[in-house]
Amino acid sequence: MNITSKIWNSPSDYLQSRTPDHPVHFFAPSALQAQAKRFLGGFNGLVTYAVKANPEQAVLSNLLAAGVTAFDVASPNEIRLLRELAPHAVLHYNNPVRSKSEIEFAHKADVKSYSIDGFREFEKIEGIIPPKGVEISVRIKLPVSGAVYDFGAKFGATPEKAIELLRRVKSAGYIPSITFHPGTQCEDPQAWEAYITEAAAVARAADVTIKRLNVGGGFPAKTANGTPDLEHFFNVIDEAVTKAFPIRPALVCEPGRAMVAQSFTHATRVKSINDNGDVYLNDGIYGGLSEFPVLDVQRSYTVFPPIGGQRSDTKTMAQVFGPTCDSLDVLPNKLALPTDIADDDYVIFQNMGAYVKGVTTDFNGYGQLETVTVLSL
Ligand SMILES: *Cc1c(COP(=O)(O)O)cnc(C)c1O
């Protein structure tokens, strides 16, 4: 039994008591379960969780406890993880690029839903998995704005190609469906409407009645600019599907970021402040802050000294570096930090549950990320 394991009241409670010198990822299971219930209660279809956003066992267990029964997995290791934790969970393998041995692995693990965006990938699946009871979703792409980066640049078939793929899927005997992903942190619900309209046009042109429409992840998480109205997104999606399809397909969504982001904060610590006022943190772009250079999202953050209390309300814009000796290890934007910030202070970033845990590296001897459970953030 691990007798040191403990649930703390809050991040400040832990930081003051333990004064950790490594980054800490604070997890509030209650916040995660509340968000899962928001998706389950508000989305008119099957809610699956995109495991890559945060594969921690505590996250998966709490989602299962909240009633999430289906997961989007993208690799044999993610399949293995879920099969160990929840052998009967429904798994969708929606990474459209897979090696033959990955397809064989998924087939043996009883995965019955796959996405594709090309003929060669379709033929690989066809050579390994018999069609009966197996769904193949054709992933479509559109030039969509609204997301902080464009997933269509890597995956997805153009509408013309998707029409051909959908016909092939159907005539081979698989269950035909359509999927898309509008891009992560997509703050514009019209992006979904455009995709849904296009999906209906593809199905109509192919003369295929699709069983399901998977509207992807991409839902926005809370940022410093505000909390997204997810229910509005759900309504826009629902109405667009009713309007676009003569026969309504069942809906699936696969949120990653929006499901998990706000149930974690991420505490970093000031290692040093140089003579120019530049701040060196104990974490940076090779660790928990790896998204900062690639996603232009405003993050909220707070600063407090290890003895507790507050630093000054007067702020100065400071350049912030990560701990490694690599010159790329710098945050792209300056942070507004208290003028009296000092060595050993903590800088806590909010809404950091997504794409931190899986992507932290041990480059240059850093990356000792600890996860601590708290009652509230
Ligand atoms: C990454 C991914 C998701 C989750 O995306 P978020 O933007 O984190 O919601 C969903 N589906 C697929 C296929 C993905 O690759």
Q: What does the pLDDT look like over 125-152, one tens digit per residue?
A: 999 999 999 999 999 998 755 555 455 5
172 and 120 both lie in a single domain: yes
67 and 209 both lie in a single domain: yes
* 88 Cβ contact partners less than 8 Å away, ≥ 6 residues apart: none
Alpha-carbon distances of 302 from 265, 313, 341, 345, rounded to whole Å: 10, 11, 11, 10
310 and 334 both lie in a single domain: yes
87 and 145 both lie in a single domain: yes
The domain spanning residue 112 has which CATH number? 3.20.20.10
pTM, whole model, 2 decimals? 0.95
312 and 212 both lie in a single domain: no
Name residue 50's beta-bridge partners: 72
Q: What is the whole-number distance in angstroms between the Cα of residue 91 and the centre of ligand 1?
A: 14
Q: What is the whole-number distance in angstroms between the Cα of residue 124 and the centre of ligand 1?
A: 23
What is the rounded CA–CA span in Å between residue 8 and residue 375?
A: 6
Q: What percent of the chain has pLDDT over 90?
A: 90
Q: For 294-298, what is the mean pLDDT?
A: 87
| Mutation pick for ligand 1 pocket among 116, 177, 184 (CB with most ligand atoms within 8 Å) | 184
Q: For 236-249, what is the mean pLDDT?
A: 98
34 and 134 both lie in a single domain: yes
Q: Is the dihedral of CA 337, 184, 232, 69 positive or negative?
A: negative
Residue 70 gets which letter from DSSP? E
117 and 247 both lie in a single domain: yes
Atom of ligand 1 nearest to the CA of 217: 9
* 335 Cβ contact partners less than 8 Å away, ≥ 6 residues apart: 279, 301, 317, 318, 320, 347
What is the rounded CA–CA span in Å between residue 167 and residue 341?
A: 62
Grouping H, G, I as helix, E, B as strand and the rest as coil, residue 335 is strand
Residues flanking ligand 1, CB < 6 Å: 50, 52-53, 72, 94, 181, 184, 216-219, 254-258, 354
Q: What is the whole-number distance in angstroms between the Cα of residue 156 and the centre of ligand 1?
A: 13
Alpha-carbon distances of 249 from 135, 178, 203, 210, 241, rounded to whole Å: 13, 10, 11, 6, 8
Q: What does the pLDDT look like over 71-126, one tens digit per residue?
A: 999 999 999 999 999 999 999 999 999 999 999 999 999 999 999 999 999 999 99
Contact 68, 35 (CB under 8 A): no
**Pick from 135-144, 240-249, 274-283, 340-349: least confident:** 135-144
Grouping H, G, I as helix, E, B as strand and the rest as coil, residue 362 is coil
15 and 115 both lie in a single domain: no
Alpha-carbon distances of 35 from 164, 221, 260, 286, 326, rounded to whole Å: 38, 11, 8, 28, 37
Atom of ligand 1 nearest to the CA of 354: 8
Q: For 221-243, what is the mean pLDDT?
A: 96
Domain boundary among 233, 260, 287: 260
What is the rounded CA–CA span in Å between residue 237 and residue 45?
A: 11
- What average pLDDT does the chain have? 95
- Residue 266 clears pLDDT 70, i.e. is over it: yes
Domain count, the chain: 2
What is the rounded CA–CA span in Å between residue 31 and residue 74?
A: 25
Per-residue pLDDT, 4: 56
Per-residue pLDDT, 308: 84
- Residue 204 clears pLDDT 90, i.e. is over it: yes
Per-residue pLDDT, 154: 76
Domain boundary among 260, 291, 326: 260
Q: What is the whole-number distance in angstroms between the Cα of residue 183 and the centre of ligand 1?
A: 8
Per-residue pLDDT, 146: 58
What is the rounded CA–CA span in Å between residue 165 and residue 148?
A: 28
Per-residue pLDDT, 358: 84
235 and 322 both lie in a single domain: no
Q: What is the whole-number distance in angstroms between the Cα of residue 331 and the centre of ligand 1?
A: 24
40 and 17 both lie in a single domain: no
Per-residue pLDDT, 150: 58
Q: For 283-299, what is the mean pLDDT?
A: 93
Per-residue pLDDT, 1: 42
Grouping H, G, I as helix, E, B as strand and the rest as coil, residue 27 is strand
Residue 339, domain extent: 2-27+264-374
Q: What is the whole-number distance in angstroms between the Cα of residue 150 and the centre of ligand 1?
A: 12
| Mutation pick for ligand 1 pocket among 47, 63, 72 (CB with most ligand atoms within 8 Å) | 72
Beta strands per DSSP E along the chain: 24-27, 46-50, 70-73, 90-93, 113-116, 135-139, 175-179, 212-214, 250-253, 264-273, 279-281, 301-304, 315-318, 320-321, 335-338, 346-349, 370-373
- Residue 2 clears pLDDT 80, i.e. is over it: no
Domain boundary among 232, 260, 288: 260
252 and 145 both lie in a single domain: yes
222 and 277 both lie in a single domain: no
